[in-house]
Amino acid sequence: MKKRLRILSADVDAAEKKLCFNLEIDGRPEILWYKTTDEYAEYFCSELCDGVVISFIPFAIRNKMDIESDIPITDQLYFKLTKNLIPALKLRNPEIDLQIIATPICVKQNNNAVATGMSCGIDSFATLYEYSGENCPNEYRINLLTYFNVGAHHGQIDYDNGHVSHELFLEEMENTKRFCKEYNYPLLVVDTNVAAIQKMNFVPTHSYRNIGTAVIFQKLIKTYLYSSGITVDYFKVDINDAAGYYDILSLENFSSSNIRIMSSHPASTRIEKTESVAQFPPSYNSLSVCLNSSKNCGLCHKCERTLATLYALGCLDKFKNSFDIDAFLKNKHKWQAELLAKRNDKYCLEIRRLFKKNNIKFSVRARIYVIPFFISALMERAVKKIKWELSKRR
């Protein structure tokens, strides 16, 4: 008999502000929980399995399981998943054989929040800039920010080190809380063990886990804007690759008349988003992009590419409270050499184009420092060629 992930029941623990789903994963009992704060516990949706089904699609596919729920599913979601999304996933991976077994029902929610995730990074601030500006229709105007612990922090320092991950979640949350307090945004914080149960890489699962969590709050959230990390011209549907490649397809199929999920700025490059953020004063003291810490280290590749873009845009000074600008400028020959050396890196290419467009010259020392990079790349290529020639002779 085929393996099953069963969703048996759901209970809200009002005192703990916790929603627990009792699961059975291939016969093994598990409790999937979502925990929030006082003001949001009343919005838990325990009557529908929608959020759990969405969150566990990649997990069920990887483990060759069906999903069976004793809790009903929203009829529109069921229809879209089974008629559109799962068949689309099968096109690239024909071995996929996922059945969703649940009773579809029609429920009407009375919700009004327009929400987006706020990590204080480039994507979040670019979304907030676009969906809070003068030209934004009221229907799309953000009035709630969210912070979900669904696994992003697991990939940042040490995927297997739950302690470090949780510390990062808490540290970064403090930054987001400070920002929300300063700019008067309500903040929905949700902690969950979804990543601990799934034990899967975050990249192919991030849209599923984030949207699954938003959908659990469909009594509150009417529209959820999901910041896109990959532009639509890279569109491809592959369950084993980054979920962001096909957000434009999956988000529509996670939507129902109760909660609409929209991709935010799906056509903007990282450079264009950074340009938007540089025009958004609320971001100046709170921008946080670092891979290593809740305080920007200035050295990891995410810090460096953000700083290099701001440098090329002439906007570094605006972010002097978020980064050590002096240290970055002192080090400019080194990071500029890296930008020149990483010839095939998409982000480095975009930043080099921005340098050219804004007529910014690379330093002479950077051009000298890049020589060892090129020599080592040439040697690597030569060694590969010799090995290939030798293998042909054998």
Report 42-61 residues binding Zn ion (CB under 5 A): none
Least gap, CB of 297 to Zn ion (angstroms): 3
Dist. CA 87–CA 96, nearest whole Å: 9
Least gap, CB of 232 to Zn ion (angstroms): 28
Beta carbons within 8 Å of 35's beta carbon, 6+ residues apart: 16, 17, 18, 19, 190, 191, 192
Least gap, CB of 158 to Zn ion (angstroms): 15
Closer to Zn ion by Cβ: residue 143 or 292: 292
- Kind and range of the H or E element at 372? helix 364-393
Query: Could you give the dihedral angle defined by the CA atoms of residues 80, 188, 204 and 70, in that order, rounded to the nearest 10 degrees?
Result: -50
Least gap, CB of 155 to Zn ion (angstroms): 14
Place of tokens 């899967």: 200
Closest CA to 310 of 346, 354, 268: 354
- In contact, 112 and 141? CB cutoff 8 Å: no
Dist. CA 252–CA 39, nearest whole Å: 29
Q: What are phi and psi of 113, to 5 degrees?
A: -85, 140
Q: Applying CB under 5 A, what is the total number of residues that bind Zn ion?
A: 5
DSSP structural state of residue 317? G
Report 294-323 residues binding Zn ion (CB under 5 A): 297, 300, 303
Closer to Zn ion by Cβ: residue 59 or 323: 323
Ordered strands of the 187-192 beta sheet:
100-101, 65-69, 3-13, 18-25, 28-35, 187-192, 144-149, 113-117, 221-227, 260-264
Dist. CA 64–CA 149, nearest whole Å: 26
Least gap, CB of 301 to Zn ion (angstroms): 8
Closer to Zn ion by Cβ: residue 191 or 338: 338
Least gap, CB of 134 to Zn ion (angstroms): 33
Least gap, CB of 306 to Zn ion (angstroms): 9
Site string for Zn ion, 262-301 (x = CB under 5 A): ----------------------------x-x----x--x-
Place of tokens 């809200």: 12
Least gap, CB of 182 to Zn ion (angstroms): 23
Closest CA to 11 of 39, 45, 52: 45
Closer to Zn ion by Cβ: residue 237 or 297: 297
Closer to Zn ion by Cβ: residue 157 or 297: 297
Residues that bind Zn ion (CB under 5 A): 290, 292, 297, 300, 303
